[in-house]
Amino acid sequence: MSRSPQALLERRYARLGLLLIAPTIVVFCAVIVYPLLAAIYLSLFQLYTPTLEGSFVGISNYRDLLARGEFWISLRNTLVWTAGTLSLQIVLGIGMALMLHQAVWFRSLARSLILFPYFVSTVVAVLVWRWLFNDLYGILNHMLIGSGAVDMPVDYLGSMPNAMISMILVGAWKYFPFVVIAVLARLQTIPDTLYEAARIDGAGPVARFFDVTLPQLRDVLVVIILLRAIWDFKEFDLIFLLTGGGPVISTQTLPLLVYKEAFALNQMGMAAAYAVVMMAIMLVFMVVYIRRTREKDAS
Amino acid sequence: MHNDHDIGGTHSRRTLLKALIAAAAAGSLPLRARAQRTELRWWTPQGAPAQLDAYRYQIAAFEALHPGVSVVLEPLSDEGYAPQLAAAFSSGQVPDVVTHLPSFSVQSYYAKGLVEPFDDVIEAIGPDDFYPGANDVFRAADGRHVACGIGNSAVNILWLRTDIMQRVGLERAPETWDEFRSALQKLQGRGIYGTALPYGRNTATSLVFIGFIHGAGGQVFTPDLEVAIDSEATRNALEFYREIRDFSPIGATNYSWGEGLTAFVSGATATGLYTGRVLTNINEQNPRLSDHITCALWPRLSRDIPPWTFNDFPSVCIPAQSRHKDLARRLAAFLFEPEGYIRQLHAAPGHVLPVLQSISEDPRYLDNAIIRKYRKETDLMAEAAASGFNLGYESSAHRSNEKAGEVIASGAIADMVQRVVLNRENVDRVLADTTRAIAAVMAR
């Protein structure tokens, strides 16, 4: 039975399609699927980190971690940190972007300088902040005592809730420029006619912001919140260097717990279990968030 | 006729290809030459600039004796060496020589087959030259040595400002906790804190507090390594550590080694707890205090309890996965050659103390401005360190504790201190939790 030229051509196109998509699939498997499966696989073992030798324990790592108070405290800390720093980043970022969108003097210079905290290395940024917070030589305490606001230095990093508040503030300072860049780019594309129409309708600056600017920013804010929430949720270096998770475990987030299990306690299997749970939590949040946003858009 | 081999009209494709091959060959020459050299990697968490200079001197001398060998020095951080080594061991990309790891870390690695036995290097250095018993801490359960000491370190030394002592009428260093408390009350004032102890969630707090437990006559483990931290001695130590909290700066809740050292060196506190590095730092960073400092053994609950000096026993060891073990052994032994070893010790006089008797008496070692000026202090530290202990070796009666590093890294002891001292939680409950946490680490 002879095949029609049409069918042959279609089959060739299908093969070509597979061939063209193959590199993407290979790269996707190598950088996403393999590490993910490897993490899940490792989480089923009790492994000594330096040798990666150990024994299969099934889901007992998951049972253990869910029974540990430390996990729930760290999860709560992670959520407080993420929600706190993300909210501040968004508020500061939108505020600063609106300011830089105006015709102010040295606007180009200001737009460049605003990126400085985002570009500076986290280690350097944390060292600078630790010095600012220092009880003996820090400028913040010096100014507070000098102004008579306090009699004794404030313990910014060693007591609660100061440590969490300081951490959230430093995180917001470090990462809000990302919001500024994205929001500023979107602000420049909002047609002036929308504002003119709003003005004609008698809308003041606040009403124009809520009725014109904010709806126009919604799409970009969805992306920003999604990305920054993921990044903040798994933030490690800033928190580790600033408070080390202390006092006690009051600022210990899940990534710090993963690090502690993997490298302080040399329990790679348990660390992998924490990492898998972290990923699952993030996934749940992201799915809920995206669905809600879509529902809002549809309505 | 147009020559289709012409490129740009002047060179043929073949000419260009030849040129490319020649360039590639020329470019690869250094790489090939480098490939013929044997590269040894040396890791150390002791990386102060002066120390790095001393190591580089030793490397140059070793390379001169071993043509074709190059040694790459890779400093680690004091708090970060464990993760870096864990990653190195699990990936197989290990250094050939590691120096200045605490004895308990090396014991832990040896127990997992990650470091080589070290007896032949000790033989090459000369076992009789070490202080008697200096390498006992490195003896494994199989009777072999897992490493040897490259220096001694007296960590919990009490540093004192003699000018302030004189001003407040304090004639001698406190020996007991009561004397220490009373001294702090007198010393604190005029903008100067009494001391700067660590209360942070870090290894410094854990290690310092272990000294307090021993200062109260207690121990973390029994000699056969049962958890023994839930004791009257620990309760006393916690109570005293809480009582003297107000004599440290408010930020001590987040202090580690560095902050405590800086506080004393800068003159913000009248006493401090650190190794002999204080001497170099004071002389370099705050010389106006250089004639007003002295040191003593850390006070304990009563004079009946012998002083317990924390010595992390900085070591030299060779990872089992090293691809150049013979050369690594030669390098490890070479580090004790007097010329280079003395330079290494002089890079941090009083901080890293000699383990070889011949070096301690060597006029070249003694000929150092800091050692000459503070001979009484360095002798005291040398003596204290020689009879010192750590969590891996709590007393001469204790078995070697291979899990000591993990117990400290778990933060269980620092958490205990923070919960009792900062959060004022119920001591009994905290001690029960700490016992469980340490037992869990030991059971893994």
**Distance to chain B for A76, nearest Cα, Å:** 18
A157 close contact with B: CB closer than 8 A:
yes
pLDDT at residue B261 tops 90: yes
- Angle between the B203-215 and B232-243 helix axes, to the nearest 10 degrees? 120
Are A136 and B109 in contact (CB < 8 Å)? no
Are B422 and A135 in contact (CB < 8 Å)? no
% of chain B beyond a pLDDT of 70 = 92
pLDDT digits (tens, 9 = 90+) for A199-224: 999 989 899 999 999 999 988 998 89
- What average pLDDT does the segment B216-222 reach? 96
Residue type, B146: V
Assigned token pair, B46: 């002791």
- What average pLDDT does the segment B19-36 reach? 50
In this prediction, residue B273 carries a pLDDT of 96
Residue type, A32: I
pLDDT digits (tens, 9 = 90+) for B242-251: 999 999 999 9
Nearest to A247 by CA among B288, B103, B239, B199: B199
Distance, CA of A296 to CA of A283 (rounded, Å): 20
Find, in chain A, the residue whose alpha carbon is nearest to that of B263: A136
pLDDT at residue B83 tops 90: no
Residues from chain A contacting residue B90 (CB–CB below 8 Å): 49-52, 268
Strand B97-99 and strand B38-44: pairing? Answer: parallel
A243 close contact with B: CB closer than 8 A:
yes
**Distance to chain B for A35, nearest Cα, Å:** 16
| Count, residues in chain B | 444
User: Which distant-in-sequence residues (6+ apart) come within 8 Å of B431 by Cβ?
Assistant: B229, B230, B234, B235, B416
Residues from chain B contacting residue A135 (CB–CB below 8 Å): 249-251
Are A157 and B202 in contact (CB < 8 Å)? no
Nearest to B297 by CA among B160, B161, B421, B428: B160
Q: Which residue in the set A136, A248, A259 is minimally distant from B201, CB to CB?
A: A248
Residues from chain B contacting residue A155 (CB–CB below 8 Å): 250-251, 253-254
A136 and B266 in contact (C-beta within 8 Å)? yes
A51 close contact with B: CB closer than 8 A:
yes
Distance, CA of B110 to CA of B317 (rounded, Å): 10
**Distance to chain A for B406, nearest Cα, Å:** 5
Are A247 and B418 in contact (CB < 8 Å)? yes
Assigned token pair, A62: 């998951």
Q: Look at A101 and A103; give whichever has higher pLDDT.
A: A101
pLDDT at residue B8 tops 50: no
In terms of average pLDDT, the best of A294-298, B85-89, B175-179 is B175-179
pLDDT at residue B29 tops 50: no
pLDDT digits (tens, 9 = 90+) for A28-82: 999 989 999 999 999 999 998 888 888 999 999 999 999 999 999 999 999 999 9
% of chain A beyond a pLDDT of 70 = 98
pTM, rounded to two decimals: 0.81
Find, in chain B, the residue whose alpha carbon is nearest to that of A242: B254
Domains of chain A: 5-56 (no CATH), 69-298 (1.10.3720.10)
B277 and B261 in contact (C-beta within 8 Å)? yes
A265 close contact with B: CB closer than 8 A:
yes
Going by pLDDT thresholds of 50, 70 and 90, the confidence category of residue B9 is very low
